[in-house]
């Protein structure tokens, strides 16, 4: 006797017919198979569950095993695949896979010009080609005063960076400080300007800071500029602010200030100590460098009131205490401030103690 399993389609061969109504368990799939009266195959009730089709050889074949599970797995796999494709497309669009930046945003349409602005635009375009450098500079300055005209003349002004006259280059930098558009074109110009000592590099740095993180590619150039200029100009504080504005991390700033503090050629290392102190515990890595700097000879004789020791108190009070820094005030420091006030009166000005002549020191008496 042959019985076909309605679940897996396998044929069961029985030597002895079972009693009518008895259920057998299929040895292939484990599903129960009911045996009805007068049945030499699957019962009408179970046979109706699935339709069997003849294959190409005319043999009857049951449904494939696990077709329902396979369909579910296929649907899940297809969904996951589509999701991954979507993530990849989004990633490339946003620049996740190299390049750091996504595609440039489409340019906004230029604002409409009034009749008067149209005339001004044509005049300025002609003036940008004037053989006199000051007239070319004046054209850029005038364009910068009108946002609508500036938008229409933006590419012409960027092209003016190639002008050989320094006054024209300076005016281009000034223009970009107020009209910070098209960073893909403007930032490389400003980076080049930062390396040119003939133009106002402080103005260049200001313009870069107004582009914010769009000017992040300029970080190495700004780092180099700080070490070239900040000490002689006393501009470390504002330079570090610009460095942060264009995307420098706190670790970047900390590394820069530590490097600055260790450079004994600089005479304004106190500025670096002050900035490290302002960072608080986040600058703990700089404690050894601050201790080394604090122990160097101090021409102002400030003792524990030096910026290095005061920075230590803000960054790591335990390390400052171990170094002997008092928690509040110190006799030697108080004495220095008192002497400084007397020195101002004795010298008739605001000079430091070391600048007072021996004759004037006698007026101060035993305090020296």
The residue extents of the domains of the chain are 1-58, 120-331, 332-368
Q: What are phi and psi of 298, to 5 degrees?
A: -110, 115
What per-residue confidence (pLDDT) applies to 107?
61
58 sits in the region (left: phi over 0; alpha: psi -120 to 50; else beta) called left
Rounded Cα gap, residues 368 and 357, in angstroms: 12
What per-residue confidence (pLDDT) applies to 33?
72
Q: What is the crossing angle of helices 166-178 and 183-194, to 10°?
A: 130
Rounded Cα gap, residues 82 and 141, in angstroms: 54
What per-residue confidence (pLDDT) applies to 257?
96
1-58 and 120-331 have identical folds: no
CATH class of the domain at 1-58: mainly beta
CATH architecture of the domain formed by 120-331: Alpha Horseshoe (1.25)
CA distances from 122 to 16, 117, 125, 169 (A): 107, 9, 5, 21
The pTM (predicted TM-score) of the whole model is: 0.60
How many other C-beta atoms lie within 10 A of the C-beta of residue 332? 13
Rounded Cα gap, residues 247 and 252, in angstroms: 9
What per-residue confidence (pLDDT) applies to 272?
95
Task: With H, G, I as helix, E, B as strand and everything else as coil, classify residue 13.
Answer: strand
Q: pLDDT tens, position by position, for the chain (368 residues)?
A: 677 777 777 777 777 777 766 777 787 777 777 766 554 444 444 444 444 444 444 444 444 454 555 555 566 666 666 767 766 666 555 555 444 444 445 567 888 999 999 999 999 999 999 999 999 999 999 999 999 999 999 999 999 999 999 999 999 999 999 998 899 999 999 999 999 999 999 999 999 999 999 999 999 999 999 999 999 989 999 999 999 999 999 999 999 999 999 999 999 999 999 999 999 999 999 999 999 999 898 878 788 889 999 999 999 999 988 888 887 644 444 445 545 555 555 555 544 445 555 554 444 444 43
> Would you give the DSSP letter of residue 193?
H
How many other C-beta atoms lie within 10 A of the C-beta of residue 223? 17
């Amino acid at each position: 006797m042959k019985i076909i399993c309605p679940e897996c389609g396998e044929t069961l061969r029985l030597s002895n017919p079972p009693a009518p109504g008895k259920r057998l368990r299929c040895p292939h799939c484990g599903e129960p198979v009911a045996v009805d009266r007068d049945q030499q195959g699957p019962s009408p009730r179970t046979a109706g569950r699935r339709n069997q089709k003849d294959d190409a050889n005319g043999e009857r074949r049951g449904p494939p095993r696990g077709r329902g599970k396979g369909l579910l797995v296929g649907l899940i796999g297809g969904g996951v695949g589509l999701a991954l494709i979507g993530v990849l497309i989004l990633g490339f669009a946003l620049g996740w896979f190299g390049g750091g930046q996504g595609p440039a945003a489409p340019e906004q349409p230029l604002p409409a010009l009034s009749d008067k602005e149209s005339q001004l635009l044509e005049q300025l375009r002609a003036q940008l080609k004037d053989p006199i450098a000051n007239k070319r500079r004046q054209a850029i300055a005038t364009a910068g005063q009108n946002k609508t005209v500036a938008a229409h003349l933006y590419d012409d002004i960027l092209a003016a960076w190639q002008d050989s006259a320094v006054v024209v280059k300076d005016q281009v930098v000034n223009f970009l400080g107020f009209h910070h558009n098209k960073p893909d074109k403007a930032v490389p110009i400003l980076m080049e300007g930062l390396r040119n000592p003939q133009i106002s590099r402080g103005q260049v740095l200001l313009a870069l800071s107004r582009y914010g993180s769009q000017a992040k590619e300029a970080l190495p150039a700004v780092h180099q500029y700080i070490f070239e200029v900040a000490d002689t100009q006393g501009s470390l504080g504002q330079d570090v602010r610009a460095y942060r504005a264009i995307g420098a991390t706190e670790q970047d700033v900390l590394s820069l200030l530590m490097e600055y503090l260790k450079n004994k050629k600089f005479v304004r290392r106190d500025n670096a100590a002050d900035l490290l102190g302002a960072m608080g515990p986040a600058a703990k890595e700089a404690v050894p460098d601050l201790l080394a700097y604090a122990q160097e000879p101090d021409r102002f004789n400030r003792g524990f009131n030096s910026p290095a020791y005061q920075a230590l108190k803000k960054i790591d009070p335990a390390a400052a205490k171990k170094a002997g820094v008092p928690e509040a005030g110190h006799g030697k420091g108080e004495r220095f401030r008192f002497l400084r006030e007397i020195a101002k009166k004795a010298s008739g000005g605001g000079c430091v103690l070391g600048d007072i002549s021996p004759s004037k020191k006698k007026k101060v008496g035993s305090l020296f």
